[in-house]
């Protein structure tokens, strides 16, 4: 487990040193408990450092993988609610950090285990526009690594609703995702052509 004697500053400093060792080209197979302790922290400054280190140091054979998956899943499904002035995660901040980490470590068990949660968040009406954008781009990153991540017949009907979203950022992110998945299997996404034409027409009219 992590060293409870370390205060916040000491733990962050320790983890940044691990990252530095990794950047120098050395294997870092220790100190992961301290990284996980930061990820679990309710304070944004600590959680941010934890996720940054996690995205760099995590290995597929990490003995703490089960605990890591559980912690990341909790952040995905339970966004913070604290005031930003208290240095704690606000609204979708914890979710955003988790999504960025998943996108940066594609191919690991963590990604395969949590990709369904990412898709569910993309489709959830309760998700903020910021979270939806990150979900779409996270899935795009996963699809580029493994085209079988999303099955066209199942995914095409679900993405139709997102192509009617009124938020420009969500639309452009979803369009990027659609372009990524349709590249591998165009026919399964032909039913979405009317939606795409509508979106493109709307963008042209707004620019005119």
Domain residue spans of the chain: 1-120
pLDDT over 70 at 1, yes or no: no
Q: What is the pLDDT of residues 87-104, one digit of tens each?
A: 544 558 899 999 999 988
Q: How confident is the model at residue 83 (pLDDT cuts 50, 70, 90)?
A: very low
Q: Using CA atoms, how far apart are residues 40 and 2, in angstroms rounded to an integer?
A: 11
What pTM value is reported for the model?
Answer: 0.82
Q: Using CA atoms, how far apart are residues 16 and 13, in angstroms rounded to an integer?
A: 5
Q: How confident is the model at residue 197 (pLDDT cuts 50, 70, 90)?
A: very high
Residue 40 has which token pair? 């679990």
Cα Rg for the chain, rounded, in angstroms? 19
pLDDT over 90 at 148, yes or no: no
pLDDT over 90 at 115, yes or no: no
Tabulate helix, strand, coil % of the chain (nearest 5).
70, 0, 30
Q: What is the pLDDT of residue 46?
A: 96
């Amino acid at each position: 487990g992590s060293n409870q004697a370390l205060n916040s500053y000491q733990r962050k400093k320790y983890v940044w040193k691990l990252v530095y060792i990794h950047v120098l080209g050395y294997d870092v197979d220790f100190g992961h408990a301290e990284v996980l302790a930061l990820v679990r922290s309710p304070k944004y400054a600590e959680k941010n450092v934890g996720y940054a280190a996690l995205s760099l140091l995590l290995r597929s054979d990490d003995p703490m993988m089960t605990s890591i998956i559980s912690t990341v899943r909790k952040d995905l499904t339970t966004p913070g609610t604290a005031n930003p002035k208290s240095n704690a995660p606000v609204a979708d901040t914890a979710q955003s950090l988790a999504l960025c980490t998943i996108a940066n470590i594609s191919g690991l068990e963590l990604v395969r285990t949590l990709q369904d949660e990412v898709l569910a968040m993309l489709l959830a009406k309760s998700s903020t526009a910021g979270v939806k954008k990150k979900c779409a781009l996270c899935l795009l990153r996963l699809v580029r690594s493994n085209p079988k991540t999303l099955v066209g017949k199942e995914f095409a009907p679900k993405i139709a609703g997102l192509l009617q979203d009124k938020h420009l950022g969500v639309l452009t992110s979803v369009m990027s995702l659609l372009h990524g998945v349709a590249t591998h299997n165009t026919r399964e996404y032909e039913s979405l052509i009317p939606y795409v034409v509508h979106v493109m027409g709307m963008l042209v009219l707004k620019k005119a």
